[in-house]
Amino acid sequence: MTDEKLTQGQADEKQINDAFQDLLDRYLESKHRKKVEIITKAFNFARQAHKGVRRRSGEPYILHPIAVARIACVEIGLGSTSICSALLHDVVEDTDYTVEDIENLFGPKIAQIVDGLTKISGGIFGDRASAQAENFKKLLLTMNDDIRVILIKIADRLHNMRTLGSMLPSKQYKIAGETLYIYAPLANRLGLNRIKTELEDLSFKYEHPETYAEIEKKLESTKAERDNVFKEFTAPIKEQLDKMGVPYRILARIKSPYSIWNKMQAKHITFEEIYDILAVRIIFTPRNEEEELNDCFDIYVAISKIYKPHPDRLRDWVSHPKANGYQALHVTLMSNKGQWIEVQIRSERMNDVAEQGFAAHWKYKEGGGSEDEGELTKWLKTIKEILDDPQPDALDFLDTIKLNLFASEIFVFTPKGEIKTMPQNCTALDFAFSIHTFLGSHCIGAKVNHKLVPLSYKLQSGDQVEILTSKSQKVQPSWINFATTAKAKAKIQAILKREKREQQQKGEDMIADFFQRNEMESSDENIKKLCNLHNVKTYEELALGVGQGVFTLTDNDKNEIKEKPTQANWKKYISFAFGGGNKQKQTSKKKEDETQQQTLNIDKKKIIKLTPDAIQKNYILADCCKPIPGDDVLGYIDDNNRIVIHKRQCPIASQLKTSFGNRLLAVQWETGKALIFPVNVYVKGIDGIGVLNHVTQIISEQLNVNIHKLNIESNDGIFEGRIQLYVHDVDDVNTICTNLKKIENIKKVTRIENYDDVISD
């Protein structure tokens, strides 16, 4: 037994030493200063601190910090400070060592980063929505202190996703959902394109394993065909680039499984209908730094002489980089085989930024770096401003921030010709708030390209915008309906709340003055009488109405109070002045605690079996996504301790995964063919005599499926149809779709969630 332990111990030691040596080797290959001594010191300290601890997978725990440090070094391009912080990132959280201990041994900078990582440990979201918002705020605030905190946190999440297989299914859903909701867009916004893609693919793999495997299989089976297309398409391009004498390399870029699936879902198309799976990337070394931009356009001109470019698909991110620092020239060319192929032209420097993000080359880079006010700096400043305003609702706060995380950029100009990067679909009002809060709160309209437009006008790339203001203008509640950026929404809400508080306070003072002037007691009973007289439920509503001038306190109010008290159950009324709000919070918290306790009574390690009897008695199939047997699903324990079944890709489920991960359950269908479920199918094609008859014949007679509802419309020779059917499972739907696609002139058949869904081509 002792020999076995010794052998296991020796195997662990070798595995740990090999992993650390690999980290050191990769660090020494980088351009950073070679601070091997402090990295070795951090490794030895972390190794001792985590001694004897193992991960859920069974491997020694120290291998996780080493892996995170390797990602930070190799895949993000960070240096010794970040590597040490990554090696130490779980020490304060999981052992008895403190931040002060880290500071004494490794200095204030590493201690500050480890402290930031400790504050946001355990994932962005806690078990309750309120904790969720606070942890998310901490995460964003630490970004503002030192961007390396979030970069190491992304590295930590990437390694956790790579090793997610050892977790329980319910945990996998929570972590995968959280990753797609926050970490992938954060990585994208910080320019970490390769990491963003891997996070998306890994999340997709765990949420929809069968679909992921199917797409991977189709990518593999079509690889040879793509290789031939790439070879034929790039041959004349290589010949032309060789003549130009510019050092280059040409790569094939294949669309990721998640991106393919996303497009299939959004466009309601099959894998075979996606035509941009292959793109071509030209990466060149410029003649010199000054000629980099010119070389980009020279290559574009050269390849445009070989293949005809698409007139509407030139994307110039060289002259105007994306907000995450991405630079490239994208052009779509028509191949000799009649296929549109996108070509991305980048310098080696642009490619480094695209793959690793410019955060690695930014002001915190070891050995000094540029102090320029880049887009990332502006974005962090915007987030800081948003965090300065209180946000009582956790989910609203997250959705507001996500407006900025996901936004695509457009470029607009000020009257003086200065360029501003703004999110796509932003309005003139958003632009006003992006310049200054005072400008936004006093704007009355705008001139776009010298023409007068309303504040709700949606800006286009290239617009020149002038904001018109008035000192008498005030923020209007209706503005929140067409503000789209996080900053504008946050500022509008903050101003409206402040005004509401001021009006309520004014009303409270007027009510107190009314009682004092008329020598009456400001009792609960008298306040209740005033509320009843003005038809409001609470003291807060009364005070706000009085402050806004909606209600006026007159002799009628005085007479009402002086009447004999009624037998109304006024004791239930608790006024604002006597702390009703606190009691309400206590009640709410008690209810939440009770719900939390109830959820714990369900064995979450157990996979829920959806048998016919169980579905009819114990579970609710969510109406928002209408799951049927065969769909990838999960269970959610609601506030009434009922289990609601959602599709995993349902938008509501996505929010539940990130907000209430502790209430998720793994679910497995076991219905056989015992139950039937309604599904909706959309068909589109070229109109002709007998098409409807052919469709109904296949469904009803050949497949023996009951049609519940049918609607066919024809316009200009094109027909669209919506059919509601009753089926047993997803296999039935697939069989129906496959058979309908065989009908001549039917061009599209797809399952839709709602009968009236709008389908875009």
Q: Tell me which of 13, 18, 29, 93 is the catalytic residue.
A: 93
pLDDT at 563: 67
Q: E strand or H helix at 487, and its extent?
A: helix 486-517
pLDDT at 565: 47
C-beta separation of 189 from 195 below 8 A? no
Please indicate, yes or no, if residue 201 is contained in any of the structural domains: no
pLDDT at 571: 35
CATH classification at residue 306:
3.30.460.10
Clarify whether residues 251 and 335 are in a common domain.
yes
Coil, helix or strand for 315?
strand
Higher pLDDT, 393 or 270: 270
Clarify whether residues 559 and 502 are in a common domain.
yes
Please indicate, yes or no, if residue 200 is contained in any of the structural domains: no
Which tens digits make up the pLDDT trace of 519-562? 888 888 888 888 888 888 888 888 888 888 888 888 888 887 77
**Using CB atoms within 10 A of its CB, is residue 264 exposed (0-12), middle (13-18) or buried (19+)?**
middle
Clarify whether residues 569 and 653 are in a common domain.
no
Clarify whether residues 324 and 465 are in a common domain.
no
C-beta separation of 682 from 268 below 8 A? yes
Q: How far apart are CA 40 and CA 45, in angstroms?
A: 9
Q: Tell me which of 12, 94, 298, 638 is the catalytic residue.
A: 94
Q: Give yes or no: 156 in active site.
A: no
Share of the chain above pLDDT 70, in %: 83
SS (H, E, C) 174-197: HHHHHHHHHHHHHHHHCCCHHHHH
Q: Give yes or no: 94 in active site.
A: yes
What tokens appear for 583 in the block?
A: 């009691």
Please indicate, yes or no, if residue 299 is contained in any of the structural domains: yes
Please indicate, yes or no, if residue 365 is contained in any of the structural domains: no
Clarify whether residues 233 and 271 are in a common domain.
yes
Of 33-42, 576-585, 655-664, which has the strongest mean pLDDT? 33-42
Model confidence at 200: pLDDT above 90 = yes
Lowest mean pLDDT across 303-307, 346-350, 355-359, 395-399: 395-399
Clarify whether residues 652 and 682 are in a common domain.
no
Q: How far apart are CA 488 and CA 423, in angstroms?
A: 12
pLDDT at 126: 38
Please indicate, yes or no, if residue 206 is contained in any of the structural domains: no
pLDDT at 374: 57
Clarify whether residues 96 and 179 are in a common domain.
yes
Last residue of a domain, one of 293, 326, 356: 356
Please indicate, yes or no, if residue 702 is contained in any of the structural domains: yes
When pLDDT is averaged across residues 608-634 and rounded to a whole number, the result is 85
Last residue of a domain, one of 645, 669, 693: 669
Q: Note if the pTM is more than 0.75.
A: no
Please indicate, yes or no, if residue 643 is contained in any of the structural domains: yes
Q: How far apart are CA 183 and CA 160, in angstroms?
A: 12
Model confidence at 45: pLDDT above 50 = yes
Model confidence at 433: pLDDT above 80 = yes
When pLDDT is averaged across residues 84-108 and rounded to a whole number, the result is 92
Binned at pLDDT 50, 70 and 90, residue 102 comes out as very high
pLDDT at 747: 85
Q: How far apart are CA 255 and CA 473, in angstroms?
A: 49
Clarify whether residues 350 and 313 are in a common domain.
yes
Model confidence at 52: pLDDT above 60 = yes
pLDDT at 386: 57
When pLDDT is averaged across residues 233-254 and rounded to a whole number, the result is 94
When pLDDT is averaged across residues 642-664 and rounded to a whole number, the result is 82
Round the average pLDDT of the chain to a whole number and report it: 81
Binned at pLDDT 50, 70 and 90, residue 31 comes out as confident
Clarify whether residues 45 and 161 are in a common domain.
yes
Q: E strand or H helix at 548, and its extent?
A: helix 539-548
Please indicate, yes or no, if residue 5 is contained in any of the structural domains: no
Share of the chain above pLDDT 90, in %: 29
Of 75-89, 576-590, 597-611, which has the strongest mean pLDDT? 75-89
When pLDDT is averaged across residues 77-83 and rounded to a whole number, the result is 89
CATH classification at residue 450:
3.10.20.30
Residue 446's DSSP bridge partners are 453, 467
Domain that holds residue 509: 495-578
Clarify whether residues 627 and 688 are in a common domain.
no
Coil, helix or strand for 645?
strand
CATH classification at residue 713:
3.30.70.260
Clarify whether residues 528 and 552 are in a common domain.
yes
Who contacts 645 (Cβ-Cβ below 8 Å, separation ≥6)? 610, 619, 620, 621, 622, 627, 633, 634, 635, 667
What tokens appear for 123 in the block?
A: 């994932």
Lowest mean pLDDT across 394-398, 501-505, 579-583, 696-700: 579-583
pLDDT at 377: 62
When pLDDT is averaged across residues 406-431 and rounded to a whole number, the result is 82
CATH classification at residue 100:
1.10.3210.10
Last residue of a domain, one of 491, 508, 541: 491
Clarify whether residues 179 and 263 are in a common domain.
no
Which tens digits make up the pLDDT trace of 713-751? 887 778 888 999 999 899 999 999 999 988 888 888 999
Give me the number of domains the chain comprises: 6
